[in-house]
Structure 1
């Protein structure tokens, strides 16, 4: 079994009444990206989008080859270790770690360390995986 070619990881906090500045204050770090419900974005094409919920995202550096354990360490090192804060967040909002895993071959694999799983679980962070098969591009 080969190692995954690349991984991306983003901690996402989302909810209807989410105010990004509140999440920043609670977690102790500025987001990579955020918006509130009702914010508008106009794309280069001229198409406009009105957001239906608020979001606060913090992205880790892309890992080549895949290294989710290091990406989780990178993200959590920037944020509060206070589990009471995390419990409050996970009760009020949807909190997950989105991971994009990119395969180089048809039988690549990945292992997640117990310490990584424990750190996510203790904070109420759901693990959301998108696995992309290799392409001929």
Structure 2
């Protein structure tokens, strides 16, 4: 990642206490990047076992493009428009997460411009999801 090249990762998250990831996959016709069901046993990287407290279904993309518009358009193309994804059974929290990582100069300067075209915004609105954006700047 160079000074003028942000790293962008876009993901869709659907969460709910009783969310069934397999049911979500059947309903929207797209498999997740990650999923979990309430009550599943998981093990942390340090070896501790725990029970999952809520269901989760996530689909993420990391394209080579530095265009937020490209990432969002790719995500939108994955889903049939018509029914808001937040209206899927047992979804209590649904959102699109945008993560942007930037490198700063030695002076701490970093700049990135992100554009979203109107047609992409219209399609996002039809999905019925808010967008959460996180920007992380690291010094090289």
Give the TM-score taking structure 1 as reference length.
0.83
The equivalent of 2:57 in structure 1 is: 56
Find out whether 1:102 has 2:139 as its counterpart: no
2:14, 2:86 within 8 Å by CA — same for their partners in 1? no
1:51-99 Cα offsets, whole Å, 9 max, x none, are 2211001111x23452222222222222222x23536229843111111
Q: Structure 1 residues 48 and 135 mapped into 2: Cα distance closer, same or farther (>3 Å)? A: farther
The root-mean-square deviation of aligned C-alpha atoms, in Å, is 2.2
1:14-71 Cα offsets, whole Å, 9 max, x none, are 11110001110111111111001121211342112322211001111x2345222222
Counterpart CA distance in 2 for 1:55 and 1:48 is: 18
Give the TM-score taking structure 2 as reference length.
0.82
| Unpaired runs of at least 5, structure 1 | none
Which has more radius of gyration? 2
- Runs of 4+ in structure 1 deviating by more than 6 angstroms, as ranges, are none
2:132 to 91, 115, 128: 128
Q: Structure 1 residues 111 and 4 mapped into 2: Cα distance closer, same or farther (>3 Å)? A: farther
Judging by fraction of residues, say which structure has more helix.
1
